Structure 1
Amino acid sequence: MTSRKLPALLAAAGLCLSGTAHANELVVGWAETNDTLNPVTTGKRNVGPILSNIFDTLVWISPDFEVEPLLAESWTVSDDGLTYVFKLREDVTFHDGTPFNAAAVVSNVEYITGENTQSKISLGLLGPCAHAEATGEYEVTFTCDEIYAPLLAQMGEPYLGMQSPAAIEEYGAELGQHPVGTGPFKFVSWTPSQSIVLEKNPDYNWMAASLGHDGPAAIDKITFQIVPNPQSRVQQFQSGQSQVMQQTPGLYWKTLTASGKYTELPVEISGLGIFAPINASLFPTDDILVRKAIMYAVDQKALIQLAEAGVYPPSYTPLSVGMLGHDEDAEGKYPYDPEKAKSLLTEAGWEFDGTTWTKDGKTLSVKITAISGKAHYMAQAQAIQGFLSEIGFDAQFEALNAPAWLDLNIDGGSTLTPSQYIGVDPDALHFWFLPDQYFNWSHWTNDELTDLIYQGRSELDHGKRAAIYQKIQDILLDNAVILPIRQNLDLTLADKSVTGITWSGGGFQYFGAASIAE
Structure 2
Amino acid sequence: MAAPSWLRLRRMVIGGVAVLLTAAACGSGPAEENQGGGTPVDGGTLSVALSAEPDSLDPAGAAQAAAHQVFMQIYDPLVWLNPSSGEYVGGLASSWTTSSDGLTTTFKLRTGVKFQDGTDFNAEAVKFNFERILDASFKSPVARAKLGPLKTVTAVDPATVELTYSSPFPSLLNSLSQHWLAIVSPAAVAKYGTGYGQHPVGTGPMSFVEWVTGDHVTLQRTADYAWGPSFLHQGKAYLDKLIFKIVPDDGARSAAVQSGDVQLAWNMPAADFSLLKKKGSDLTMVAAPWSGGSLSLFLNTERAPTDDLAVRQAIQYGISRTDLINTALFGIYTPAEGPISPRTVGYSKSVEGRYAYDKAKAESLLDGAGWTMGGDGFRSKNGTRLALKIITQAQFNPIATGVQGLLKPLGFDVAVDIRAAAAATDANGKGEGTGGITGLVDSDASGIQLFYSSKNYGGFDWSRIKDTQIDDLLSKQAVETDVAKRNQILGELQTTIMDKALIYPMYQGAFLYGVSSKVGNLHTNVLAYPYYADMWLNP
State whether TM-score is above 0.5: yes
Q: 1:485 to 1:427 in 2, by over 3 A?
A: same
Aligned-residue offset at 1:46: 0.8
Offset of residue 142 of structure 1? 1.0
The DSSP-based 3-state class of the residue aligned with 1:509 is coil
Q: Which moved more, 1:194-203 or 1:482-491?
A: 194-203
Distance 2:201 2:108 in 1: 22
Taking a change above 3 Å as real, the CA distance of residues 425 and 349 of structure 1, as seen in their structure-2 partners, is same
Residue 325 of structure 2 aligns to a residue in which SS?
helix
State the match for 2:13 in structure 1. none
Task: Answer whether contact 1:273 1:488 (CA < 8 A) is retained.
Answer: yes
Moved more, 141-150 or 341-350: 341-350
Q: 2:236 aligns with which of 213, 216, 225?
A: 216
Most deviating of 230-239 and 277-286: 277-286
2:81 corresponding residue in structure 1: 61
- Any idea what SS the aligned residue of 2:534 has? coil
1:399 shift after superposition: 4.2
CA offset at residue 394 of structure 1? 4.0
Aligned residue in 2 for 1:237: 257
Instruction: For 1:309-324, list aligned pairs within 5 A.
Output: 309-324=330-345
Aligned counterparts, 1:424-435, within 5 A: 424-435=443-454
- The AA in structure 2 aligned to 1:315 is A
User: Take 1:463 and 1:386, find their aligned partners in 2: how far apart are those partners?
Assistant: 42
Pick which of 332-341 and 65-74 moved more. 65-74
5+ residue gaps, structure 2: 1-40
Residue identity matched to 2:336: S
SS at match of 2:190: helix
Choose from 58, 61, 67 the match for 1:41: 61
SS in structure 2 at match of 1:219: coil
Distance 1:121 1:139 in 2: 26
Cα distance, 1:291–1:174 mapped onto 2, change above 3 Å = closer
Q: Report the secondary structure of 1:449's partner residue.
A: helix
Amino acid paired to 2:534: A
* Amino acid in structure 1 at the alignment position of 2:287: P
**In 2, distance between residues paired with 1:319 and 1:364?**
33
Distance 1:301 1:403 in 2: 30
The Cα shift of 1:496 comes to: 2.2
Please state how far the C-alpha of 1:348 moved relative to its aligned partner. Answer: 4.1
Residue equivalent to 1:250: 270
1:79–1:96: structure 2 CA closer, same or farther, 3 Å change rule?
same
- Aligned partner of 1:9 in structure 2 is none
3-state secondary structure, aligned to 1:210: coil
What is the CA–CA distance in structure 2 between the aligned matches of 1:401 and 1:233, rounded to whole Å? 16
The letter of the residue matching 1:73 is: S
| Corresponding letter in the other structure for 2:488 | A
**Alpha-carbon contact 1:105-1:140 (below 8 Å) kept:** yes
Aligned to 1:177: 198
Distance 1:207 1:189 in 2: 23
Is 1:89 equivalent to 2:110 in the alignment? yes
CA shift, 1:298, in A, is: 0.9
**Aligned equivalent of 1:388:** 407
C-alpha contact (below 8 Å) 2:52/2:421 kept by paired residues: no
More moved, 45-54 vs 425-434: 425-434
Distance in 2, matches of 1:451 and 1:470, equals 13
Conserved 8 A contact 2:371-2:386: no
After TM superposition, give the deviation of residue 79 of structure 1 in Å.
2.4
One-letter amino acid matched to 2:199: H
Aligned ranges 1:284-433 → 2 under 5 Å: 284-348=305-369, 350-352=371-373, 355=377, 357=379, 361-363=382-384, 365-371=386-392, 374-399=393-418, 405=424, 409-433=428-452
TM-score by structure 1 length?
0.87
Q: Identical aligned pairs, as a percentage? A: 33
The answer to whether 1:120 aligns with 2:146 is no
CA contact 2:350–2:495 (8 Å) conserved in 1 = no
CA-CA distance at 1:248 after TM superposition: 0.9
RMSD over equivalenced CA pairs, Å:
2.7
| Residue 537 (structure 2) pairs with residue 516 (structure 1) | yes
Worse overlay, 79-88 or 107-116: 107-116
Q: Deviations over 1:6-60 (max 9, x none)?
A: xxxxxxxxxxxxxxx9963212222222333222223322111211111001011
SS in 2 for 1:84: strand
**Partners of 1:119 and 1:356 in 2: how far apart?**
42
Give the TM-score of the pair, scaled to structure 2.
Answer: 0.84
One-letter amino acid of the counterpart of residue 120, structure 1: P
Q: SS at 2:301's partner residue?
A: coil
Structure 1 alignment gaps of length 5 or more:
1-20
